[in-house]
Amino acid sequence: MDLTVAITGATSGIGRAVAEAFVDEGAFVAVSGRDGGAVDRTVAALNGEGDDAEDGGEAPKEGDGDERGTAWGDRVDVRDEFDLERFFERVARESGPVDVVFANAGVFHGAPGESPTDELSYADFDDTMRTNARGVFATISEALPHLADGARVLVPSGAVAAESKPGMGAYAVSKAAAEAVARGFAADLDANVGVVDPGLVATDLTGKERARDPESVAPLFLWAATEAPADDVNGERVGLREWKSATR
């Protein structure tokens, strides 16, 4: 898979799982996150180097050989468009035009199900929106000069963006806004921009009870980025049902 993939929020959860899946498929994967140390550890593990790999992290799998890709990383705070500008410039220098952007970085201030909207502080609301919604806008905006022809941009979301659930507070609001940002870009760009809903996944943002492992939904994101018909992704929301129907 000769692709250049850029992922924000790639040091844990879905972002980390998707990064690993793309590296396994032979892509050049640009990993980013707010914690520079976590970025370095993630890159080392994905490349089979350092303590994480020695302790059972994502070392190269048997039989992968030269087909396995490469991870590269940089510290990025998606609340800062200048961080993103520098990140995409560096990715393009390292590997050329970007084929896939996964605008994955997000925050949840508080605990899922225990953060009522009427109890939110202005500071938590503002930071959630700045990261989860404006961060998606900034990620796509700064990626634009470096996108390859036919590039795809994926924005993760979930049912909470459209269905009210108690205690999800600003996170739910921000996901609805992020989806709207994705649809706006899809309407105005030649690149394909879509929303991917993996269902309830066990991450720090959503909790872990009755949820899927991030690794189990990584193939959904690979499919949306590479195999799903462009018209089915662009300006649309795809999820487990569409993926399973197309790949069974």
pLDDT for residue 60: 44
Contact 217, 199 (CB under 8 A): yes
The confidence score (pLDDT) of residue 56 equals 39
Instruction: Please give the domain boundaries of the chain with CATH numbers for all domains.
Output: 4-247 (3.40.50.720)
What pLDDT shows up at residue 201?
Answer: 85
CA atoms within 13 A on the CB side of 210: 0
Predicted pLDDT of residue 67: 84
List, in sequence order, the alpha helices (H) in the chain.
13-24, 36-46, 50-54, 81-95, 122-132, 134-143, 169-188, 214-226, 230-233, 240-247
- Taking the chain, what is the end-to-end CA distance rounded to the nearest angstrom? 21
Mean pLDDT by 10 residues, the chain (248 residues): 96 96 98 98 93 45 64 98 98 98 96 92 98 98 97 95 91 97 96 94 65 91 97 96 92
What are the φ and ψ backbone dihedral angles of 30, each rounded to 5 degrees? -90, 110
Give tens-digit pLDDT for 164-221: 889 999 999 999 999 999 999 999 998 999 999 999 887 766 555 567 899 999 999 9
pLDDT at 200: 85
pTM of the model: 0.91
* Cα–Cα dist 131/240, whole Å: 25
CA Rg, the chain, in Å?
Answer: 17
DSSP string computed for 152-205: EEEEE--GGGTS--TT-HHHHHHHHHHHHHHHHHHHH-SSEEEEEE--SB-BTT
Interatomic CA distance for residues 55 and 65, integer angstroms: 21
CA nearest to 70, candidates 23, 4, 33 = 23
Under 8 Å between Cβ of 6 and 88: yes
Phi, psi (deg, nearest 5) at residue 230 = -55, -40
pLDDT at 209: 59
The predicted pLDDT at position 64 comes to 44
Distances (CA, A) of 240 to 156, 164, 208: 12, 21, 18
